[in-house]
Chain A
Amino acid sequence: MTAREQQGAPPDNGRHAASGDGSVRLDAPPRRERGTRVRRRRVRAAWLFLTPMLIVLAAVAGWPLMRTFWFSLTDASLSSLEGAQFIGLENYLVFDEGWYGIMADPLWWQSVWNTLYFALVSVSLEAVLGVIVALVLNAHFRGRTLVRAAMLIPWAIPTVVSAKIWAWMLNDQFGIINHLLMGLGLIAAPLSWTADASLSMWAVIMVDVWKATPFVALLVLAALQMLPGDCYEAAKVDGISPVKVFFRVTLPLITPALLVAVIFRALDALRVFDVIYVLTSNASSTMTMSIYARQQLVEFQDVGYGSAASTLLFMIIALVTVIYLYLGRRQLGGES
């Protein structure tokens, strides 16, 4: 051991390296090592573990999406998917002594407009209400857990059920809402919320806001609870008004979480189907893109035409997502 003790920093690196390499290449072919066997085994296992999920997602998402694109270029009908003939873009737009196709269908454009209107209004309301609810839940008070649990109830109720409950509450003759409003003297005669074209969109929005606000509130609440307490104490010491503190400190800090909640909600709202289907069925005043596409697909059995509508909906959502992510990133980037 004493002989080795004086061994300093690696002696004579060059010579050593040469002999080291030489001996390796005698018994093993020269190759670059790409990680230990453990690592290679892990990467192999990773792909193996991912395969079932990727296969399932390909079967239920990838392949069906491709087929939908293809059907949109054919005259497929529900009864004869196999016998579909390629007809180009005729489902989208064609001139045959007048314009035909989805792009020429005023009902489609109405449903596009309805969807955007519904998404914009309901998501905005949910964001504002969600922040308010989150602020309340973030305050320390007796029974907070109970209130938080209560807030989750609308979120947990199946959409179909909540639509039915609200349909009953909004019933024009026996509904409690009309009863209440008349009792308060706000309206003179019962309103037919779900049947009246000018009211039905608001009825739908009301139900959606009721159901989805808890989701936004929970995400914002999680962000609120991660805020540092000391900057609030600093603001308190400096005597800044709570309203100012909210807009100058709280809001900027919870914006990222709010943006995430809003995009999740916006994507949901753009593909909305069940609440509207149950509440107002296929009425044109509340027809959304999803309702339109399904009506063509299933009820009119026109798979080609319905698929074209589905494809357009997919593209619109993809576009909105990209724009939103782009703006969101730029805004977040500018802040930091």
Chain B
Amino acid sequence: MTLRRLQAILLKIGFWLLVGVLMLYAIFPFYYAVVTSLKPSSELFEVSYWVDSVDLSNYAAVLSQPAFLAAIRNSVVVAISVVAIALLLGLTAAWALGRVRFRGRTTVMILVLGVSMFPQVAVLSGLFEVIRTLDLYNSPGGLILSYTIFTLPFTVWILTTFMRQLPDELEEAAIVDGASPWVTLTKVFMPLLWPAMATTGLLAFIAAWNEFLFALTFTLTDSERTVPVAIALISGGSQYELPWGPIMAASVIVTVPLVILVVIFQRRIVSGLTAGAVKG
């Protein structure tokens, strides 16, 4: 009896130990970035696990660079535009794919899924040509266009899943009331799909905010770069003298909004990820 009790207690301790380790593993790198960013450059090279005194000089350094501010502005513009376009096109497409039976529907679904599996590098040279032809090279427009390649497929996919869950009779009621497909979509379905659209939009925003390869390739000047490229290209006097303080400060600046979003909307995000994968 006591042995069994001991075993139970040990099991419980083990479990909480595991939870602790996982928490530490998940959070520590970001925590350490915050700690580093708050240290003056003179203390940077002594390892310490917490902040002794708050020093904002790294943030001041980063935020006084016009290039970094431009990058933040570009990232915001690009991410929001991509979300808007993906939701608009995704919503109409999801209505068609989720609620209408027609010849060729499966083909379109497979096509969309296929695009989401594309390696980005595979379209790099072709897309480069398209962007240059449209005169969008080195401008946010080029990035907005190119980002639809990865945001649009999963937006369509997730919204289709949610669209299918709406009851058939609701749409039939709208038909009997004389609503055209467009009216049904905008007046009846869209108000009901706000949660799904928020989820999908959030995922699209995160994806666009984090993208690196296209942003690196399709922009040239500091004023047109996005945040990930700006951070990747922060450099010091030589390869061995990276300004770690400002890099960590910049990292924290661009990550904190995302972390807050994720913590607030974690339920939404989880439902979106699983709708796109498990049910799809």
Chain A interface residues toward B at CB < 8 A:
38, 41-43, 45-47, 49-50, 52-54, 56-57, 59-61, 63-68, 71, 76, 78, 81, 133, 136, 139, 141, 145, 147-162, 164-166, 168-169, 171, 173-174, 176, 179, 210, 214-215, 218-219, 221-223, 257, 260-261, 264, 267, 270-271, 273-274, 277-278, 289-290, 293-294, 297-298, 303, 306-307, 310-311, 313-314, 317, 321
Contacts and interface: CB of A to CB of B under 8 A. Distances in A.
A53 B27 CA distance: 38
B191 interface: no
A157 B278 CA distance: 23
A60 B145 contact: yes
Contact of B232 (A210, A277, A307): A277
B121 A293 contact: yes
B127 interface: yes
B125 A277 contact: no
B67 interface: no
Given A147-B22, A214-B26, A219 B273 contact: yes
B162 to A, nearest CB: 15
B80 interface: no
B236 interface: no
Nearest to A320: B117
Nearest to A291: B121
B140 interface: no
Interface string B227-253: 111011000000000001001100100
A65 B123 contact: yes
Contacts of B190: none
A60 B146 contact: yes
A311 B122 contact: yes
B30 A273 contact: no
A317 B117 contact: yes
Contact of A71 (B15, B125, B153, B156): B125
A219 B278 contact: yes
A314 B45 contact: no
Contacts of A49: 92-93, 95-96, 181, 185
Interface in B68-126: 85, 88-90, 92-93, 95-97, 100, 102, 105, 108, 111-112, 115, 117-126
Contacts of A314: 118-119, 122
Contact of A222 (B29, B44, B210, B278): B278
Interface stretch (B1-9, B57-65, B192-200, B257-265): B257-265
Given A64-B130, A161-B251, A290 B119 contact: yes
B29 A210 contact: yes
Interface in B116-174: 117-130, 132, 145-146, 148-149, 152-153, 156
B47 interface: yes
B26 A150 contact: yes
A65 B261 CA distance: 35
B92 A52 contact: yes
A259 to B, nearest CB: 10
Contacts of A264: 277
A45 to B, nearest CB: 4
Contacts of B180: 41, 45
Interface residues of B, number: 89
Given A63-B126, A68-B124, A54 B108 contact: yes
Contacts of A148: 266, 270
A174 B45 contact: yes
A67 B125 contact: yes
Contacts of B50: none
Contact of B121 (A149, A179, A290): A290
Contact of A159 (B30, B181, B228, B269): B228
A260 B278 CA distance: 7
B200 to A, nearest CB: 14
A298 to B, nearest CB: 6
Contacts of B44: 174
Contact of A60 (B32, B130, B247): B130
Give the interface centre of B18, B45, B92, B247 by most chain A CB atoms within 10 Å: B92
B213 A161 contact: no
B124 A152 contact: no
22 contacts: A49-B92, A49-B93, A57-B111, A57-B115, A60-B145, A156-B258, A156-B262, A160-B212, A161-B254, A165-B32, A174-B44, A215-B273, A219-B273, A270-B119, A274-B213, A294-B213, A294-B217, A297-B124, A313-B119, A313-B121, A314-B122, A317-B122
A316 B129 CA distance: 24
B13 interface: no
Which of B15, B85, B263 counts the most chain A CB atoms within 10 A?
Answer: B263
B10 interface: no
B247 A168 contact: yes
Given A60-B130, A60-B146, A133-B22, A158 B254 contact: yes
Contact of B266 (A152, A162, A173): A152
